[in-house]
Structure 1
Amino acid sequence: MLDECMEPRVILTDRDLALMGACAKVFPDASRLLCRWHIQQNVMKHCKGAFTDDDWKKFMSFWGTLIESPSIAIYDYHLRNMRKRLVECNRSRVFKYVYDNWLKDYKEMFVFAWTDKRRNFGNRTTNRVESQHANLKRYVEDRSSLDRVVGCVRDIVETQFGEIRKTFRESIEKTMKHHKHPMFQHLLGKVSHKALDLLHGEAIRKLDVLERFNSSCGCQMWHSCGLPCACRIEKYMREGNNC
């Protein structure tokens, strides 16, 4: 099927070892990532019983911060901090589970410090494809013929294509209030609202954080989405240029 197509450069799966091994063999040049949602479900299954409801919410917040670490140095800092907190409150078993089962061997496949060095366009879970499976099942009967299944897939794809074209038209014809930043004047009506939302987050929120705390950018937006990151936007602004 892929003889005349671009082969996948990034593949997202759950931790199915047979599937991961097959992907590595068939697509050796593709970056392989793990689904963050599936990891979270496993952490919940094995660790939630060790916490009260309030403490569990705090742990999941801290776990999310660890996963979203923008650099290896920040990841190491959060990891040490998490280990210290869990050991101090007699929850070393929780740390052992998340470290031995996920962080030790697989951190490069789901922690942002590593995954956002690859062009993944913000895809961190398999939820999108699973939602499409559910969507297809609503169209297909239990004992449908292959011809009917193919027709359903075609109808779904055509419907989605129409919705995508509609959003592009809206991006060209409408201007959102928060996009009226001098930096974006040459992009309005030419790129999607989603791209402008991402740039707005870098230019307004992240750039402010970097300046206040004198921290480094990490260039996640540049590497993962191909859009100017906070440090590049700051350079444009300093030189009097626009995006």
Structure 2
Amino acid sequence: MLADDAPGYDTLDASGQAYARMLFFSLWPLGGGFSSYADGFASLRQQRAFRSELTQVLTYNLEHTDHYPIPLLGEHSGVPLAIHASYSREEILPALGQAELGGFLPGNFREGVKWCEGIQTDALLITLEKDDKDFSPQTRYKDFAMSPDRFHWESQNQTSASSPTGQRYQQHKARGSHVLLFVRRYKKTDIGGPQPWMLLGPAEYESHEGSKPMGIVWRLQHELPADVWTYSAIAAG
């Protein structure tokens, strides 16, 4: 989509359009004032220097990837995300079908949880080391890795074990719904921008304690990368 001879958005297949929307919202989190994705990409054609620079950045990042991405399978095989790859909210939300022009825009997302009706999936976006400036005592949740494949997560304060959301967390496997965990160490990077989340992949409910909030233990299908396991366990301290 950054090439001089990039295809039009409307000519892309469903997968191509999904990736294109991830790029679109990475550039314009609040829609950029465009009435269509095609209009946004048409405006990009005129920005040759910007497209060249962004292509160089993406190429560099691809050559310096720290973790080997694992494809999502099963009912998530059509979701344009990979396990152990990292994404911004502007990529995560459209990838999960939760953002679109004329509807909900990624720039307005403030929560750490999202129920994705279309793919029957709870997306949990976790920030491990929370800053006092950004999180009140009520929202400094207790999130940490218990082992390379078990993760303790604390729900939002209003979620009780008997609520519809709490019941869905506990019974997701029997109900045929899914849970995807995303994690980042800090809210911001060293230069002040938002740090992306790593997709830890599908998780299965194992147990919980308490209510309002619930302290849930999730079992991951894929073990944490070694460096993520280290800083996720440290967060427990």
Task: Give me the TM-score of the superposition, normalised by structure 2.
Answer: 0.25
Structure with more of its chain in helix, by fraction = 1
Q: Kindly name which structure, 1 or 2, has the bigger radius of gyration based on alpha carbons.
A: 1
Higher-strand-fraction structure: 2
TM-score (norm 1): 0.25
